[in-house]
Structure 1
Amino acid sequence: MKKKNKKRIASVEVRSFGEKTDFFFSIFIGLLALSCLFPFFFVIGVSFTSESALAIHGYRMIPAEFSWDGYKYLYEFKDQLISSLGVTVFITIVGTLINTTFTSTYAYAISRQNFKYRQFFTKFALLTMLFSAGMIPNYLVVTKMLGLRNSIWALILPMALSPFNIMVMRTFFKKTVPDAIIESARIDGASEIRIFIQIVIPLAVPGIATISLFAALGFWNDWFNALLYITSDNLFPLQYLLMKIQSNLDYIAQNVGLSGVNAGMSIPREATRMAMVVISTLPIALTYPFFQKYFVTGLTIGGVKE
């Protein structure tokens, strides 16, 4: 009886210690999550602060003097912003679909043991992660060989395949799609395309959602390809347009005294900068919760090394 009582007491103590530990780590993770959200809320607060209040009181999350001046200044570019937003949404959707399709099919092929050239194509993908041809060869291929200068495809095709995502999906397919299922489908007479669409894709939804999120973030935040290949105002993506507005703000501020006018003083530089950050990050931040459950599962399974 004494031994049983001791075991019960020990189990109760272990359980209470585990509950206390879980409570402590829950609070710690919650505070860590709030610390990650704090900078974004801080940027939103500064974007609604007047330029004079920023000069007197400095940066504050709660505006000392509420103002829409930053957003009003951006509203003057509303036609360009709407056009650039449409371009960004298009290249993000189409580019993500293309990237996910190419990446998942490539990764599935090299994850199968019966694929004769899987080692060659695996090393080929890894080689592109280690070595890059450089900016000039890329520019010549896109503009001269493919003739995509001032084309919407110049913003999509250079990012149509991701070697890192290929390695993630390769491991994911090997861990979640057993060879026995594939062999059973082949015995039943299913083609490779049918196996991939009807069997592999439903099993790989978390991994595909993970690489889709990576690809969407890459296309949404990309401005460098527009800088290299795009000169037409109608094809500027949102990030590149906001960068140009930022450059114009800096140019006006630096040359206020040279022209003898005071035009630059009326422009809310800091509030406009923060407003641009809000406009560029808010849409993608709102879509992230819909991918979160797939993102965690796909990243943890696909990140296992072999």
Structure 2
Amino acid sequence: MITTRLSKQWIIHLLFILYMLATLFPLLLVFMVSITEEKSLLIHGYSILPQKIDFSAYTYLFHDSHVIVRAYGVTILVTIIGTIIGLLLTALFAYPISRKDFPFRKGLTFYVFLTMLFNGGLVPWYLVYTKYLHIDNSLLALILPNLLIGGFNILIMRTFFMNTIPPSIIESAAIDGAGEVRIFSQIILRLSLPVMSTIGLFNTLAYWNDWYNSLIFINSSEKYSIQYLLNKTLLDIQVLLNQTGNSGQSQLLAHAPTETIRMAMAIIGIGPIILAYPFFQKYIVQGLTVGAVKG
């Protein structure tokens, strides 16, 4: 009996190890391609073991390193501010509609669900932020639109509050004289670390990977996010390569490591955000299984 159970555990462990390797392999391949010489890559194709190591792609990208560093600073600042404010607003909205004694909980819950099904379209969305809120070409344009608060995150947090936090705890705190603000800040938030970490990870990834808001709202290169900067750099290279002529710039770009640059951009863009996972990993599984049916 014990031997059978151990063998099943080893099979499960082996499957997870294989899955982990399958997940890490594409990332490793992208990194290896990014440090492969361009000519060798064109001749031999993609390989996990480069025929000739060359860091020309990174040298090319970091030729104006201050631009990338500034874009990193913008992205990090926007990600931190947006994640913190988004978490707070999501919790402040989700907690009241999770309380059965809140009179408008059904109407507000339906309103949140409705926002997941319909939207006003691109033109009204753009006009609201530019004509009425006047946040175009500012860091607020990278924080407010779409990413700050979402209906899906509100419903996840509401489900966690309803299924995990017993109403008796709230009633006991109220009997002891605690107000709603104190109950929320000192009890609810402290008991909600799993879902807060999960939603925080979702927000962090959304802000870090966002390039669309920079494309729509930002005109100044000093306020570009890192993802938009890398995407714009790649598009500029492709446009210049497609242009005819024998100018010195065209000749220089003709020898640029265009294929390895794409992979180097992916590594530069994803590198720092990988460091965020260890801080959220402890609570991710527990937060994602909110409301799961126990067998």
What interval of TM-score do these two structures reach, taking the shorter chain for normalisation?
A: over 0.9
Q: 1:184 to 1:148 in 2, by over 3 A?
A: same
- Deviation of 1:301 after TM superposition, in Å, equals 2.1
Give distance in 1, aligned partners of 2:12 and 2:293: 24
Over aligned residue pairs, what C-alpha RMSD do you find? 1.4
Query: Are residue 193 (structure 1) and residue 186 (structure 2) matched?
Result: no
- Deviation of 1:259 after TM superposition, in Å, equals 3.5
Identify the residue that residue 267 of structure 1 maps to in structure 2: 256
- Deviation of 1:169 after TM superposition, in Å, equals 0.5
Identify the residue that residue 276 of structure 1 maps to in structure 2: 265
Contact 1:169 1:302 in 2 (8 A): no
Contact 1:207 1:302 in 2 (8 A): no
Q: Deviations over 1:159-203 (max 9, x none)?
A: 211111111101111122111010111111111110001100110
Identify the residue that residue 3 of structure 1 maps to in structure 2: none
Alignment partner of 2:178: what SS?
A: coil
Q: 1:304 to 1:267 in 2, by over 3 A?
A: farther
Q: 2:194 aligns with which of 206, 215, 229?
A: 206
Q: 1:289 aligns with which of 260, 275, 278?
A: 278
Identify the residue that residue 248 of structure 1 maps to in structure 2: 236
Written as runs of structure 1 = structure 2, the 5 A alignment for 1:1-306 is 12=1, 15-158=2-145, 159-255=147-243, 257-259=244-246, 262-301=251-290
Give distance in 2, aligned partners of 1:254 and 1:178: 63
Identify the residue that residue 5 of structure 1 maps to in structure 2: none
Q: 1:144 to 1:303 in 2, by over 3 A?
A: farther
- Deviation of 1:60 after TM superposition, in Å, equals 1.0
Gaps of 5+ in 1: 1-11
Give distance in 1, aligned partners of 2:228 and 2:11: 44
Give distance in 2, aligned partners of 1:131 and 1:259: 51
- Deviation of 1:85 after TM superposition, in Å, equals 0.5
Aligned residues: 291
Give distance in 2, aligned partners of 1:39 and 1:302: 33
- TM-score by length of structure 2 reads 0.95
Give distance in 1, aligned partners of 2:84 and 2:122: 25
Q: Report the residue type matching 2:207 in the other structure.
A: F
Q: Report the residue type matching 1:51 in the other structure.
A: E
Contact 1:171 1:303 in 2 (8 A): no
Q: 1:294 to 1:226 in 2, by over 3 A?
A: same
Give distance in 1, aligned partners of 2:40 and 2:89: 51
Q: Report the residue type matching 1:275 in the other structure.
A: A
Q: Report the residue type matching 1:102 in the other structure.
A: L
Q: Report the residue type matching 1:267 in the other structure.
A: A
- Deviation of 1:303 after TM superposition, in Å, equals 5.8
Q: 1:259 to 1:304 in 2, by over 3 A?
A: farther
Q: Deviations over 1:13-41 (max 9, x none)?
A: xx322221211121011101110111000
Give distance in 2, aligned partners of 1:107 and 1:54: 51
Alignment partner of 1:66: what SS?
A: coil
- Deviation of 1:304 after TM superposition, in Å, equals 6.3
Q: Report the residue type matching 1:240 in the other structure.
A: Y
Computing the radius of gyration over CA atoms, which structure comes out larger, 1 or 2?
Answer: 1
Q: 1:168 to 1:83 in 2, by over 3 A?
A: same
Contact 1:74 1:272 in 2 (8 A): yes
Moved over 4 A (4+): 302-305
Question: Sequence identity of aligned pairs in percent?
Answer: 43
